[in-house]
Structure 1
Amino acid sequence: MIKLALSDLDNTLIPYGQGRASDAAIAAVRAANAAPGVLAGPISGRTVAMMSWMFENDAADCFQTGVFVNGQVVRLRGRVIYQEAPARESLERLVAYLRERDGERTALTAYENNSVNVDVVVGITDKELARHPKAFHAFRRTSAHIPAGTYVKNNIHSDHSRAHMEALRRDLAHDFPEFDFVFPSATSSTLDILPVGISKMSGLTVLMDQLGIGINEVCVFGDSENDLAIIEGVPNSVAVSNAAPEVVAAARWHIGAVTEDAVAKALLDIADAARTADMPAFMREEGEDRHATSGAAAPITGVGPTHMG
């Protein structure tokens, strides 16, 4: 039986650019949470504050439990049980590095974890911001330094090409070993910045440990590079049909496209199966493959105590 179902948002539960979850998706997350013994929510690179518009303000129950900011924030039933922000000193050094290497076309962006409309571009001026609407169209504020506050999520935005950003990532990986840099989608030129070793999988492990459930009782849905850790690490991993090829190859189970509300349908299947303590139907249709396991759910091992960083 699946006891924890977590979905990536952009291009997995929500079509990229749509902005908010469909009514069907919201209803499905609620149905899964209402099923006996099941918790459902996001496993996303987004902040908790962003959930208010992605799920609409009247659907706050859809993100009471989940993994946010690619594993840097974990919530269980509305309470933050883990939070880790990148080292401010390293981020400030990164701001100067980007300025020297790419000028005003590439900059660090910072997001306050608990508030909306306070996102900021760091290291460029207001005039420079206005000159690069492609890279910074969603931002209205600049700052010479990272503001005070809980700016847990940090990205690199640029109006350079994806190829340029891939080259930049190679340089960053060498010069900033304290960070991991991942692309949140197959086409985006934006880079997510994570403390080294943090991933959606590390956040999921914290949540499983708190719930006392085995990894075979978890289902995850994803589509892109920042989902690979969970797609490779969770036996019941699911790729939407529009996922990147490496995600499709790594996933055990495969469903329809994000534009078809495929994850919503799978969540309803999970909710139905929970009523008879069974596995959902879509997990009984593809046969055995590389993730297949037998026997009881494995216990979680090697997990340290959760903490607030």
Structure 2
Amino acid sequence: MIKLILSDMDNTLVPFGASAASRRTVDAIHVCQEQGIDFGPASGRDRGELSSFFNKDASCYNTGVLVNGQKVYYLGEVVYEKTLPMDELRRAESIAARVEGCAFITYRDDNFGDWVGATREELGPMFERVFLCGGERHELGEMPDYPVVKAGMVVMGDNERAVELSRVLSDACPGLSFPNTVVNWLDASPKGWGKADGVAILQKILGLADEEVCVFGDADNDLDMLRRYPNSCAVANANEAAMRAGRWHVGASADDGVARAMEQIAAAARESCELGREVEPAFMRA
């Protein structure tokens, strides 16, 4: 029986660019929690960014696997944190800052972003999407020195520019990976570390078997957890690799696909309790 649900945010739980999760999504989270099923985001975002998505309802994000597995929260407390290597970050910064229409960003604990490269005006709508708590632009070589857990970059224009920059940065910074998680955006993550590693830490804290964890995703930074867990689900708008990696397939983020699946998970848990035997969620029986 599923006892923990973890879902990617952008383009999975919510359509990219949406300012909040739908009412149906929040209600589905609460219905699962009423059945004793834990829920948490499994996102490239950090906790400070999630409050507005859930209208400050901390029960929806007190537990989660954030910053692509580099931060794990349980009941509102950080139980694991992995920082990025500063020498490789500076190398990536020097390359990205020279690319037209690109901004390289590092985030503080309070989620303010420091960046080099493109101006706020050049970034347009992307500015609000990636600097949710504000930010300050710096000249190359003048970025402040503090431990960095979360970093990434905006690459304006055709998304192929982001894909190409990811290749360049991966060659120059072998200790980091740069997945193109949404259009015009690259994460900066430790090579060989991902969401699945964070999920495993949370799973161990909760004492759960792999089969008791259900994960939802849509993009390259979800692949490791989609491949690792038997109850893995790709949304209908997922990229080709995520579609192949997901064992199950649910509706698109724009159609509340994850919310519908969570409703079915809660209904199956309720029915299992009533019947005294395990019942699979409806989408797993199709």
Name the TM-score, length of structure 1 as normaliser.
0.82
Distance 2:279 2:255 in 1: 22
For 1:139-288, what aligned pairs fall within 5 Å after superposition?
139=131, 140-144=135-139, 145-149=142-146, 151-185=148-182, 188-275=183-270, 276=272, 278-286=278-286
Stretches of structure 1 that go unaligned for 5 or more consecutive residues are: 287-309
Aligned twin of 1:306: none
Equivalent residues in 2 for 1:112-127, closer than 5 Å:
112-113=108-109, 115-116=110-111, 118-121=112-115, 123-124=116-117
Cα distance in 2 for partners of 1:79, 1:34 equals: 22
**Alignment match, 1:63:** 61
Task: Please give the secondary structure, in 1, of the residue aligned with 2:266.
Answer: helix
Equivalent residue, structure 1, for 2:107: 111
Provide the residue aligned with 1:294 in structure 2: none
Aligned partner letter, 1:184? T
> 5+ unaligned residues in a row in structure 2: which ranges?
none
Query: What's the secondary structure of 2:166's corresponding residue?
Result: helix
SS in 2 for 1:9: coil
Alpha-carbon distance between aligned partners in 2 of 1:271 and 1:217, rounded to the nearest angstrom: 13
Aligned-pair identity in percent equals 33
In structure 2, the partner of 1:52 is: 51
* Contact 1:134–1:159 (Cα < 8 Å) also in 2: no
**Secondary structure of the corresponding residue to residue 97 of structure 2:** helix
| 2:46 alignment partner, SS class | coil
Q: Tell me the amino acid that sits aligned with residue 50 of structure 1.
A: E
Q: Quote the Cα distance in structure 1 between the aligned partners of 2:146 and 2:94.
A: 20
Count residues with an aligned counterpart: 274
Q: CA deviation at 1:189?
A: 2.3
Q: Distance in 1 between matches of 2:204 and 2:243?
A: 27
1:71–1:203: 8 Å Cα contact kept in structure 2? yes
Counterpart for residue 89 of structure 2: 91
> Which residue identity lines up with residue 39 of structure 1 in the other structure?
D
Deviations 1:262-284 (A, max 9, x none): 21121122222223253442254
One-letter identity of the residue aligned with 2:267: D
Instruction: Spell out the pairing of 1:13-92 with structure 2 (5 A cutoff).
Output: 13-36=13-36, 38-57=37-56, 59-92=57-90
Deviation, 1:129, is 0.7
The match for 2:10 is 10
State the one-letter code of the partner of 1:19: S
Question: Structure 1: which amino acid aligns with 2:144?
Answer: P
Compute the displacement of 1:178 (Å).
Answer: 0.6
Match of residue 133 from structure 1: 123
In structure 1, give the amino acid aligned to 2:53.
M
The 1:176–1:279 alpha-carbon spacing in structure 2 relative to 1, beyond 3 Å, is farther
CA distance in 1, matches of 2:107, 2:48: 9
List structure 1 segments (4+ residues) > 6 angstroms apart after TM superposition: none
RMSD: 2.0
